[in-house]
Structure 1
Amino acid sequence: MKSLRVLIGCEISGIVRRAFLDRGHDAWSCDLLPSQDGSNRHIICDIRQILNDGWDLLAVMHPPCTRLCRSGRRWLSGPGKMTPPKKLPRGRTWESMIEEFEQGVDLFKTCWHAPIGAVAIENPEMHDLAKARMPDDLPAPHMVQPFWFGHPEYKGTGWYLRGLQPLVETDRLAEPAKGSDEWKAWNRVWRMSPSKDRGQERSRFFGGMADAMALQWGAQAA
């Protein structure tokens, strides 16, 4: 299999980078923050600065999506569209909410239009205001679950794909009975109590899915 130059954007854990490295690819991660594993294959910068550096495959893991995903719709509209809601998150201004929305749109569109043959952007399903700002060729997200890849957990993960096929499940687990203690454990992401690390923990990726990406997409983009 051909070795690819792979850029893993918006990742600090190194989970996906390591999965591609383990399969012989020239993989690098990139984020505004340092890598948690201290790897020298991590670039600290805005990913938009390095999209033209000759990559074969781009996987953007957790781009800022708070203002694009459906759960964030309530903060962007009072009466009509893009008007202040009755209540904003504590400590936030309407101007800051709009700025975050515009930044999220720009980052997503810039990565989607990058001069790279194979692109995968992880993002929840978008609300109508975000969809209206997306490229015309953007497909519906391909939705997968961690338990398709051996992780006992529910967390719908959406992939917007260009030049790649949808992931095929590799190790599907039997689902627990709804309401059981095991089922509650599988829903831990949605049951987390508020904390300073909650956002980071909720965005933590899954090794089994990373392995499937490296195996399947690494072969497709070669």
Structure 2
Amino acid sequence: MRVLIGCETSGIARRAFAELGNDVWSCDLEPAEDRSNRHIVCDIRDGILLEGWDLLAVMHPPCTRLCRSGRRWMSGPGKWTQPKQLPRGRTWDDMKAEFELGVSVFTTCWTAPIPRVAIENPEMNDLAKDRMPSGLPKPQMVQPFWFGEPAYKATGWYLRGLQPLKETQRLPEPKHGSDEWKRWNAVHRMPPGPDRGRLRSRSFKGMMQAAARQWTGESTAPLPA
């Protein structure tokens, strides 16, 4: 299959799909961490989606203002009223611009002329849902520990032309509050810092290996209605 991994610099998803013999490329505004020659530095909206892909997996599109946790920065009571508080050093216009960017990237990828699409994104807030294409399904919510990764991080997948991911190597959960449980929550307990956003958004290898096996294995199967 010809596979495009969008909005990824780590190469984790690209390598998982490549290991199965697929023709895989990644793209992002930033260079690839592994310096792969299979990575294109570009805006995913600038034509690359029209180059005959069989599957598009968008890993980390700008979603901070689309998710439910970011709703409080976008509006006060009701819709599009002045927020009670804004992040330090940011303006409401900044929030709106980031919101519009997130909407643009998501909708461009979702409506791309590609038969199979998977977009990683949290469950959206009401403001974002109002701007989404009609018929957008609810995301499938999965956890890394379903795929052999000792970690908690609810991950949403919006799927078109693909079946939901099936768990592969589910790990038993640690006791709540134990040291192991705290280690599993490392993503959520990560201290502030310049790399916090990038590190928190990294893909989990086990999940990407499962996605590569399951989604490319459906290449000859009828597409879901």
TM range (shorter): over 0.9
Report whether the alignment pairs 1:119 with 2:149: no
Distance in 2 separating the partners of 1:137 and 1:213: 23
- Alpha-carbon displacement from aligned partner over 1:61-114 (angstroms, at most 9, x marks no partner): 000000000110000112321122122111111111111111111110110000
> 2:11 is matched with which residue?
14
* Residue from 145, 148, 173 that aligns with 2:146: 148
- Alpha-carbon displacement from aligned partner over 1:117-164 (angstroms, at most 9, x marks no partner): 000000011111111111112100001100001000000000000000
Bigger drift between 6-15 and 72-81 goes to 72-81
RMSD: 0.8
> 1:87 is matched with which residue?
85
Report whether the alignment pairs 1:97 with 2:95: yes
Instruction: State the one-letter code of the partner of 1:63.
Output: P
Instruction: State the one-letter code of the partner of 1:186.
Output: W
Please state whether the residue corresponding to 2:188 is helix, strand or coil: helix
Q: Percent identity?
A: 71
Contact kept, 8 Å, 1:117 with 1:221, in 2: the verdict is no
Distance in 1 separating the partners of 2:172 and 2:58: 29
Instruction: State the one-letter code of the partner of 2:150.
Output: P
> 2:135 is matched with which residue?
137
Report whether the alignment pairs 1:38 with 2:41: no
Report whether the alignment pairs 1:220 with 2:218: yes
Instruction: State the one-letter code of the partner of 1:168.
Output: K
Instruction: State the one-letter code of the partner of 1:199.
Output: G
Q: How many residues align?
A: 219
Please state whether the residue corresponding to 2:24 is helix, strand or coil: strand
Normalising by structure 1, we get a TM-score of: 0.97
Report whether the alignment pairs 1:182 with 2:161: no
Distance in 1 separating the partners of 2:76 and 2:163: 39
Distance in 1 separating the partners of 2:78 and 2:149: 41
Distance in 2 separating the partners of 1:103 and 1:203: 18
Structure 1: stretches of 5+ with no match in the other structure = none
> 2:168 is matched with which residue?
170
* Residue from 106, 109, 127 that aligns with 2:107: 109
Distance in 2 separating the partners of 1:129 and 1:200: 25
Compute the displacement of 1:220 (Å): 1.1
Please state whether the residue corresponding to 2:105 is helix, strand or coil: helix
- Alpha-carbon displacement from aligned partner over 1:33-78 (angstroms, at most 9, x marks no partner): 0000000000000011210000000000000000000110000112
Distance in 1 separating the partners of 2:9 and 2:196: 15
> 1:69 is matched with which residue?
67
Please state whether the residue corresponding to 1:190 is helix, strand or coil: coil
Distance in 1 separating the partners of 2:84 and 2:160: 38
Normalising by structure 2, we get a TM-score of: 0.96
Distance in 2 separating the partners of 1:221 and 1:159: 18
